[in-house]
Amino acid sequence: VHKRVMKAEKMEVVSHLASSISHEVRNPLTTVRGFMQMMLQSEIPEEKRKEFLKISIGEIDRANDIIRDYLTFAKPSPENVKTLNIKEELNRTFQIVTPFANMNGVEIRKKIDDYLFKGEEQLFQQCLINLTKNCIEAMPNKGLLTIETQEENGNLLLIISDNGQGMTKEQLARIGEPYFTTKGREGTGLGMLVSIRIIESMSGKLSVESQVNEGTSFYIRLPRVEEGA
């Protein structure tokens, strides 16, 4: 099994990410604005108008995807750190992700216990959604998404696995690289980078194991805290 542990050095790029992302969102907005202006100014044949609208919708979708994968990452605010319960957090994620899983014929199997840890709920949710979404997208027709919690050396270990298409060694090595995606225009290549960064901000560690045509497992290790901490 190919295995990869995320290292901090990859994170040096992160400081430059915010400005680069606003750029990425601004491009489609500029394009859409240009088309709207054209449609306002002159008589445009119906066919052209339809084409402009189609492109514009595509561009808006693109901007939306970037914001969706990045959103809360843009504003990490340490003052929002609370004690969280992994069971409650996962239930919240399932509410969002289950319809998407159903659409793809993906069954979700859970083995989840109560463990407490510290984090910013919105950021952690973004991480869970990015990872589970990647798993579901790796199983376009049918599959099994497994979510399991364990205690490991007093820490919380959360394992998110799929039995989908998996990754080659080369793909695995590029995980967390900004804009690395194998999904073409459908992908942003930001989800993994954001997720790694969020777990690191929680003093945790995210690692990945994957094998082509077998599936992928994400391992999230987080320090546990006691009740009332």
Footprint on this chain of ligand ADP (rule: CB under 6 A)? 130, 134-135, 138, 162, 164-167, 171, 175, 180-183, 187-193, 216
Which residue in this structure is represented by tokens 């990859």? 10
Nearer to ligand ADP, 35 or 128 (CB): 128
Instruction: State the Cα–Cα distance between residues 172 and 222, nearest whole angstrom.
Output: 22
For the CB of residue 85, give the shortest distance to ligand ADP in the complex, in Å: 25
Nearer to Mg ion, 32 or 145 (CB): 145
The sheet carrying 106-111 orders its strands as: 2-5, 205-211, 215-222, 155-162, 143-152, 106-111
Q: Closest CB to ligand ADP belongs to which residue?
A: 191
Nearer to ligand ADP, 68 or 87 (CB): 68
Give me the helices (H) in the chain, please: 17-41, 46-70, 86-103, 121-137, 169-174, 191-201
Region near Mg ion per CB under 5 A, out of 28-36, 151-159, 189-197, 214-222: 189-197
Quick one: what does residue 183 bind among ligand ADP, Mg ion, none, with the CB cut-off 5 to 8 Å set by partner type? ligand ADP
Instruction: List the one residue out of 115, 117, 111 whose CA is nearest residue 82.
Output: 117
Contact 214, 154 (CB under 8 A): no
Instruction: List the one residue out of 113, 139, 25, 114 whose CA is nearest residue 74.
Output: 25
* Interface with Mg ion, residue 132, by CB under 5 A: no
Q: What is the dihedral of CA 178, 184, 186, 191, to 10 degrees?
A: -20
For the CB of residue 137, give the shortest distance to Mg ion in the complex, in Å: 7
For the CB of residue 65, give the shortest distance to ligand ADP in the complex, in Å: 7
* Interface with Mg ion, residue 210, by CB under 5 A: no
For the CB of residue 180, give the shortest distance to ligand ADP in the complex, in Å: 5
* Interface with Mg ion, residue 134, by CB under 5 A: yes
Q: Closest CB to Mg ion belongs to which residue?
A: 191
Query: 169 vs 1, 30, 166, 207, CA distance in Å?
Result: 9, 38, 10, 14
* Interface with Mg ion, residue 191, by CB under 5 A: yes
For the CB of residue 99, give the shortest distance to ligand ADP in the complex, in Å: 18
Interface residues with Mg ion (CB under 5 A) are: 134, 191
